[in-house]
Structure 1
């Protein structure tokens, strides 16, 4: 249908402000930068353990709480760090799959906040486990938490909580429900953790998934945890691009009518491209479920006109 085709185009690869493309790009670029530094160490015939000690370990969460308190920035940096290229590629593929679906059902402004919430929640829970559980305390100095997996699991659980029957690969018997893909991801994820003999991953990933569930639960109750973070990102962006500061005011002026003594809104049979674009922008920012009945009807009529 017209509304679906146009909406897919608006969140597709290359769209300005696409949170999913931005997040994938940041993770990939950071990996390439630090892999280049690792390569410099290797070419210089230096001990590669020096790279871990002097650079990499300063950006991942240590199991030792005292050491972690001297490196508080690791709560934000660890989610972008990867040492294994195959692990990084696998994470990006899963991020693309679940992130695209999550944007499709909730809009374009919740993905990055959820990824950060899930990762930070996993990091905090990981630290508490290795400093409060007696059997794990002796292992604390030797373990670290690194990678985007916990944040991706938060996105996967959130997307599945929002739309468990969302269909992928529709050419296969009408499509595969999203919940099946999520179960498959969990099996693969925890199997890899077991193969690597990395107990920290279990605690971190479970915590990330729980944060994803809480995010959707609170959103359904009217508490959108992404608002303050998005407002901060907007403020930060406006500092470096003053022209954007007038966007919200302009959009508000365009979307709300300002009439005196006349009917505030009058339905007309012709649907303008501007009105359709405004509705599609709203889908992009908030998700399809936030449309009013009138806006849904406009998209339906536009699709019918296109088919004619």
Structure 2
């Protein structure tokens, strides 16, 4: 008789413990994932509430997107973008559906863990943001440049963190291209081949629907690649995040506490002769104490004399 239980197989409670441990780290990676999840839950809760009270029709546009989601999504039309420029940032935190969210967060988790093994957390944050902006730029440029999209530019929108996530994943693959990743169906595959396969699939699927999404993905991937290959080019961008932290950002919304202000003044510099005179006087007092120790021992000193001797020995 032998047990078929695999001691290395994680139980459900082990998964839950690992998840709690990950979010308790309060790292940039865990906060990015948490923000994406919270935005998804909030938007879907609002849309569900509107549906239950039969008022969702007033908030759904012709393309099936709710007005709330639309105001957070990135438009390809430049005139629409001028009225909601915040979407350059908000679009990269808005997921289309649960599968969209799960896939992006899984890739972000894997790519982010590898990324932070070799680069800083602030670099991870800047790559997420600027990778998303690169995807936004290529999306807007393509829809306003290529004739194939001229009939769609007015209604085209982009949403999702895929461009940001791919920027991080491709950056990781560029940094450690031969690092193997265990895939369920294919076994151990070097990171560079996985990243290349994702990019190729995006290029091939531009004609097959969701062209804007695939183009944005490519923009994010290109940023991640060049950020690693030409790191000096992006130093001025990273400088924007040099003093940024999620904690300090959130603290801006807290009520400031009144603090006592300490005022420090620089003492007036002493002249050389004054300094030497004070030094000689101090040394004379120490010599008197030392003579007393020679005659009567250390125990004969008063508490004040012991303190003076102790302070003098520390200064020297």
Q: Do the aligned partners of 1:61 and 1:146 also contact (CA within 8 Å) in 2?
A: yes
Give the 3 Å change call, closer, same or farther, for CA 67–193 of structure 1 in structure 2: same
Count of equivalent residues: 231
Q: Given the alignment, which residue of 42, 46, 55 partners 1:37?
A: 46
Give the 3 Å change call, closer, same or farther, for CA 31–135 of structure 1 in structure 2: same
Aligned residue for 2:144?
131
Give the 3 Å change call, closer, same or farther, for CA 106–135 of structure 1 in structure 2: same
Report the alpha carbon displacement of residue 187 of structure 1 after superposing the two structures with TM: 5.4
Deviations 1:76-132 (A, max 9, x none): 000011121111111111111111111112132211210110111111221122223
Any gaps of 5 or more consecutive residues in structure 1? 1-8, 244-308
Q: Do the aligned partners of 1:118 and 1:208 also contact (CA within 8 Å) in 2?
A: yes
Give the 3 Å change call, closer, same or farther, for CA 162–85 of structure 1 in structure 2: same
- Matches of 2:197 and 2:186 in 1, distance apart? 18
Aligned residue for 1:23?
32
- Matches of 2:53 and 2:177 in 1, distance apart? 51
Larger relative contact order, structure 1 or 2 (CA cutoff 8 Å, min sep 6): 1
Any gaps of 5 or more consecutive residues in structure 2? 1-17, 258-316
Deviations 1:277-296 (A, max 9, x none): xxxxxxxxxxxxxxxxxxxx
Report the alpha carbon displacement of residue 17 of structure 1 after superposing the two structures with TM: 3.7
Q: Do the aligned partners of 1:99 and 1:111 also contact (CA within 8 Å) in 2?
A: yes
Q: Secondary structure at the match of 1:232?
A: coil
2:240 is the counterpart of 1:228: yes
Q: Do the aligned partners of 1:38 and 1:48 also contact (CA within 8 Å) in 2?
A: no
Deviations 1:1-47 (A, max 9, x none): xxxxxxxx9xx714534111110000001000000011011111234
2:225 is the counterpart of 1:213: yes
Q: Secondary structure at the match of 1:176?
A: strand
- Superposition RMSD on alpha carbons, in Å? 3.2
Q: Secondary structure at the match of 1:135?
A: helix
Q: Given the alignment, which residue of 59, 67, 70 partners 2:72?
A: 59
Q: Give the TM-score normalised by structure 1.
A: 0.66
Q: Do the aligned partners of 1:219 and 1:225 also contact (CA within 8 Å) in 2?
A: no
Deviations 1:259-283 (A, max 9, x none): xxxxxxxxxxxxxxxxxxxxxxxxx
- Matches of 2:190 and 2:135 in 1, distance apart? 27
Moved more, 148-157 or 124-133: 124-133
Aligned residue for 1:246?
none
Q: Do the aligned partners of 2:93 and 2:160 also contact (CA within 8 Å) in 1?
A: yes
Report the alpha carbon displacement of residue 148 of structure 1 after superposing the two structures with TM: 0.5
- Matches of 1:44 and 1:237 in 2, distance apart? 34
Report the alpha carbon displacement of residue 168 of structure 1 after superposing the two structures with TM: 3.1
2:205 is the counterpart of 1:162: no
Q: Given the alignment, which residue of 164, 172, 178 partners 1:151?
A: 164
Q: Secondary structure at the match of 1:226?
A: helix
Alignment of 1:268-283 (within 5 A): none
Give the 3 Å change call, closer, same or farther, for CA 192–101 of structure 1 in structure 2: farther
Q: Do the aligned partners of 2:199 and 2:221 also contact (CA within 8 Å) in 1?
A: no
- Matches of 2:204 and 2:145 in 1, distance apart? 26
